[in-house]
Structure 1
Amino acid sequence: MKLLGSSLAVWCVVVVLWAEVPVAAARLCSLEELSVCMEAVTGSEPPTSACCSKLAEQEPCLCEYLKVDPNLKQYVNSPAVQKVAAACNIHIPTREICDSTYSQEFALVPDWILG
C-alpha cells in the first residue's frame, strides 16, 4: 500500500511537470516589450543594444502580431522599422511567409497583464 501511495505521488509530480512544459515553452509576445526601440524608429539614432536584444527576443512573435492584428502590417513594414531591424540583423517576415512557414508556439499577453 505504501508503494502504491509513493507511485501515485511520483506520477502526480510527473503529470504536473509535463503540464507545465507547454506553458514554459510558449513565448510571451508583447508589443510593449519593443518600446525600447521607439527612439530608433522615430529618430535618427541607431538602435541601442537593448533594442536589438528585445527585437531578437520578440522576432518569433512578429508573425503572430501580423496574424492577430493585420493593421500592424503598415507599422511592421514601415521603412523606419525595417531600418532598425536591419541594423539589428533581424529579419521581419512578410505576412505570406508567416502564413506558410511559421507555426511557433506563442502566448500573446495583453500589455495590461505585464504591468
Structure 2
Amino acid sequence: MKAPYKIAAIALMVVLVLAYETEVSMAVTCTPTELSPCVTAITSGKPPSQLCCAKIKQQKPCLCQYIKNPNLKKFVTSPNAKKVASTCGVPIPKC
C-alpha cells in the first residue's frame, strides 16, 4: 500500500470512530433519574430487573460523569451498585 493510500485509510478510520463516538454521545441524555429502576436493587441487594439492566446499559456513557459528581458517586460506586452493574454486564469505569 502506498503512503497516500495508508494516510487516506487512517483518516477514514479516524472519521468513522469520531462519527460513532458522536452518535453515541448524542443519543444518550445523561439523566441520573433514568437509573431509578435500579434503586431497589442497589439499596436492597436484590437482583436487578430487566428494566434496570436496560437503563444502566443505556446510561453507561454517563457513568464517569456520575462518578465525578460527589452527590452521585456513592450511589454508582457502592458495593451493591457494582453488583447490579456486574449482573447487568456493565463494568463500572475507572475515570
In 2, Cα distance between the equivalents of 1:25 and 1:91?
A: 21
Gaps of 5+ in 2: 1-21
Asked if residue 88 in structure 1 is aligned to residue 88 in structure 2, the reply is: yes
Superposition TM-score, scaled by structure 1 size: 0.56
CA offsets per residue over residues 2-42 of structure 1, 9 Å max, x none? xxxxxxxxxxxxxxxxxxx98x9252010100000011111
Higher relative contact order (CA 8 A, sep 6+): 1
Answer with 1 or 2: which has the greater Rg: 1
Q: Distance in 2 between matches of 1:44 and 1:33?
A: 19
**Higher-strand-fraction structure:** 1
**Which residue does the alignment assign to 1:39?**
40
Alpha-carbon RMSD: 2.1
Runs of 4+ that moved beyond 3 A:
none
Normalising by structure 2, we get a TM-score of 0.66
Identity %: 47
User: How many equivalent residue pairs?
Assistant: 73
Aligned-pair distance for 1:43?
1.4
CA contact (8 A) 2:45 2:80 kept: no
Structure 1 unpaired stretches of 5+: 1-20, 99-115
1:38-57 alignment runs, 5 A limit: 38-57=39-58
Q: Which residue of 1 aligns with 2:4?
A: none
